[in-house]
Structure 1
Amino acid sequence: MAEFELEVLQPERVFFKDKVEMIVVRTIDGEIGIMANHQPIIVPIGIGKLRIKKDGKWKEAAIAGGLLEVKNNKVTILSDAVEWPEEIDRQRALLAKERAEKRLEQKLPPDEFERYKAALYRALNRLKLAEENRKDV
């Protein structure tokens, strides 16, 4: 299967950089799959999973939104937060979930409501991916 270059960047590190066969990521309009020689696009990414296919095997990461660009058979993803399942601190994610749920129970201005709703979605996404990839199950 044909490959393309994937680079996933965070402010503090290069999360991933390698040749891959395919990626699947959630955009704000739904999931998108990208393979080699995809047409050029720039699209916002939603909170969800980043699935990467390399050497015929899939690997997943939690991504907290960002921006994806496809250009010249290279995909660049910029995101503030991307984590492999083994990097997820489940206790921290649980606390973030509880904190967001508590705030959402209060009467909030629309901008604060949206901020805490996004925080809840990020925490739930991280917890779900960590749970799906637990080694002790």
Structure 2
Amino acid sequence: MSTFHLKIIAYDKIFYDDEAASVVLPAIDGEVQILTNHEECVVALKTGEVRIGTPKGEMIPAVCGSGFAEVTSDNQVEILVDTIERPEEIDIRRAKEAKERAEERLLQHKSRMEYYRNTTSLARAMARLKEANKYRH
């Protein structure tokens, strides 16, 4: 199976730095799958699910915040996001509380900047809850 080098970096950690067979990303205009020998590009990412396909055929799910991915001609993919975590790392109680806080703040109709900040917080909390519930048994 052909592979490429994938490196995923969040502001506080390197989440993944190894070979991969594929990666599915939440682009702002829909999901994007990157495979070996993908054309060079830069992709803007939104909060959502990331799925890494390993060379052994395993799937590594994660939920990320906004950021971007760069695919280079030498089979390298580098992803920079503000946050990324595996579903089992998500504290469901805290995610629910964050969702409720963001919903409450959206009802307060403050400044435009606060509106965008709160919609981003709400999207992140909802994505975290969705992924945590999807992969928990």
Q: TM-score with structure 1 length normalisation?
A: 0.94
Indicate the residue corresponding to 1:67 in structure 2: 68
Report the CA distance between 1:11 and its aligned residue: 2.0
Partner residue in 1 for 2:111: 109
Deviations 1:81-118 (A, max 9, x none): 00001111111111110100000111222221111011
Aligned pair 1:21/2:21, yes or no?
yes
Rounded Cα–Cα distance in structure 1 between residues aligned with 2:96 and 2:23: 28
SS in 2 for 1:12: coil
Pairwise mapping of residues 47-86 of structure 1 onto structure 2 (< 5 A)? Answer: 47-54=47-54, 55-71=56-72, 72-86=74-88
Q: Can you list the C-alpha shifts for 1:56-97, whole angstroms capped at 9, x where unaligned?
A: 222210001111001120110111100001111111111110
Residue number in structure 2 paired with 1:126: 128
RMSD (Å), alpha carbons? 1.0
TM-score normalised per structure 2: 0.94
Percent of aligned pairs sharing the same letter: 40
Matches of 2:112 and 2:131, distance apart in 1: 29
Number of aligned residue pairs: 135
CA distance in 2, matches of 1:124, 1:49: 11
Aligned counterparts of 1:61 and 1:31: Cα–Cα separation in 2: 14
- Aligned match for 1:88, one of 87, 90, 96: 90
Moved over 6 A (4+): none
CA distance in 2, matches of 1:56, 1:10: 24
Counterpart amino acid of 2:69? L
Correspondence for 1:11:
11
Match for residue 31 of structure 1? 31
Q: Aligned to 2:104, what secondary structure does the other structure show?
A: helix
Report SS of the residue matched to 2:46.
Answer: strand
In structure 2, the gaps of 5 or more residues are: none
Secondary structure of residue in 1 paired with 2:49:
strand
2:2, 2:24 → 1: CA distance? Answer: 16
